[in-house]
Amino acid sequence: MSETMTFELPSDEELAEVPAGPARQKVAGYLTGYGIARILNGWLDEKGLKNVTGPFVYNYIKKGYIPSEEFNGQKLVSEADAREWMVSQLARRMAR
């Protein structure tokens, strides 16, 4: 019998608290690869799991595993798509 994994998703307020700069562009509702890595690493730290790097996330964006849109020459990910991918990564890593 398999165990059910449970964890809390970050709230919209928690996502909004990501500071400006490399983690969040000035396009509301979108995150950079580094922003996604930063949020995901917070969850991974809580679970005692290995962190991901910004380049790891950007590689997934480049390969199309994380849907993105281009703004001023930079690919950004909507918060909804970022959250979906982060949840899948967390679940996958917790299952190991």
Q: Are strands 69-71 and 30-31 parallel, antiparallel or unpaired?
A: unpaired
9 falls within a domain: no
In a domain, 81, yes or no: yes
Number of domains in the chain: 1
Q: Is 43 among the domain residues?
A: yes
Q: What pLDDT does residue 95 have?
A: 87
Q: Residue 39 is part of which domain span?
A: 24-95
Question: How confident is the model over 61-90, as pLDDT tens digits?
Answer: 999 999 999 988 889 999 999 999 999 998
More confident of the two residues 4 and 65 = 65
pLDDT of residue 80: 92
20, 25, 28, 30 alpha-carbon torsion, rounded to 10°: -120
Question: Which residues neighbour 17 within 8 Å (Cβ) at sequence distance 6 or greater?
Answer: none
What pLDDT is stored for residue 9 in this prediction? 54
* Structure confidence by residue, pLDDT tens digits, 14-39: 656 555 554 444 578 899 999 999 99
Q: Is residue 19 part of a domain?
A: no
Give residue 55's pLDDT.
95
3 domain residue, yes or no:
no
Place of tokens 């990910």: 77
Residue whose C-alpha is closest to residue 28's, from 67, 86, 69, 62: 69
